[in-house]
């Protein structure tokens, strides 16, 4: 299972790196055509924006771990370990429920957006924003997995943070 996880993470990192390279390449092309050739190409600005949207949601869905989020956790860390477990369980379950509940409407809206296209490239908005559906599904699955881990025997491992040294 760990080998599969490692390969999937590598794949997610590879996709993110390719997206970053594509965005940076388009940015350099825009700078070159604007300031060297004095004849800017219009599609690069839109392309950079589209790829940036994909990078944000792709990385948030597959690469950013729970412990890497910026949090205000003074109240959480002040709780005893059992209280943290209950708090984490309730909040994670609420997040999972909210994202699962939002999924049908999200899919409906994104598929509805096929009627719109980006102004320069002409990319349909349903394709452009399909990454948001992937993000919503990933957050919901991640929340369900975290709830499962909080209910398991090794729930203490799930609550450890970098500043938490409690056994």
Q: Where along the chain do its domains lie?
A: 1-64, 71-167
For residue range 80-113, what is the model confidence (pLDDT) as tens digits? Answer: 888 889 988 999 999 999 999 999 999 999 999 9
- Cross-strand pairs, 124: 117
pTM for the full predicted model:
0.86
Of all residues in the chain, the percent with pLDDT exceeding 90 is 72
- Residues with Cβ within 8 Å of 138's Cβ and at least 6 positions away in sequence, in order, are 61, 62
165 C-beta neighbours (distance < 10 Å), count: 7
Q: Is the pLDDT of residue 166 over 50?
A: no
Nearest to 131 by CA among 65, 54, 39, 77: 54
Mean pLDDT taken over the chain: 90
Q: Is the pLDDT of residue 43 over 90?
A: yes
Q: Which residue has the higher pLDDT, 72 or 15?
A: 15
Tell me the pLDDT band of 161, cut-offs 50, 70 and 90.
Answer: low
């Amino acid at each position: 299972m760990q080998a599969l996880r490692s390969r999937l993470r590598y794949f997610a990192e590879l996709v993110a790196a390719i997206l970053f390279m594509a965005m940076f390449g388009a940015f350099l092309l825009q700078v070159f055509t604007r300031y060297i050739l004095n004849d800017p190409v219009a599609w690069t600005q839109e392309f950079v924006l589209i790829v940036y949207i994909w990078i944000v949601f792709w990385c948030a869905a597959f690469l950013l771990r729970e412990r890497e989020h910026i949090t205000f956790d003074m109240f959480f860390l002040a709780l005893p370990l059992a209280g943290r477990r209950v708090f984490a369980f309730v909040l994670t379950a609420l997040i999972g429920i909210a994202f699962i509940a939002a999924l049908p409407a999200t899919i409906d809206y994104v598929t509805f957006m096929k009627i719109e296209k980006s102004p320069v490239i002409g990319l349909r908005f349903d394709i452009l924003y399909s990454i948001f559906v992937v993000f919503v599904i990933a957050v919901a699955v991640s929340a369900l997995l975290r709830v499962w881990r909080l209910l398991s025997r090794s729930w203490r491992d799930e609550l450890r943070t970098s500043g938490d040294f409690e056994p």
